[in-house]
Amino acid sequence: MLHLIIEERLSHEPVGYMIIAGLKNLNKSLELRRITIAKKGKGYGKEAFRIIKNWAFHVYNANRLWLDVKEDNLRAFHLYQKQGFVLEGTLRECIKNGDGYVSLHVMSILKREYTE
């Protein structure tokens, strides 16, 4: 796993973090396990995605970068779509949440999609 701190460019103040898993995956498939941005709406997430996609596909030479997102997290879902991630499917009611269950959307971007 790779743990990254996201910093504000000029002040170097931490504004979030990212966790990437699958560094030893023989299929060159990386998982964006977590991204958290403390100060929303300032472009930090967009810039972090730009950097991590470039690293994943041009430095690490991954074929696929994927993530999952809770189906009710529409803000994140739309952000991922804007970043080129494609919905692959839904893991229905796979997470226990209180008395009910939550579904997860699985999304990915492929190297060839990123480089087009």
Pairing of strands 14-21, 29-37: antiparallel
Residue ranges and CATH numbers for the domains of the chain are 2-115 (3.40.630.30)
pLDDT (average), residues 17-23: 97
Quote the pTM value: 0.90
**pLDDT, tens only, 61-108:** 999 999 999 999 998 999 999 999 999 999 999 999 999 999 999 999
- CB neighbours of 57 closer than 8 A, spacing ≥ 6? 65, 111, 114, 115
* Amino acid symbol at 21: A
H helix or E strand, kind and range, residue 80 = helix 74-82
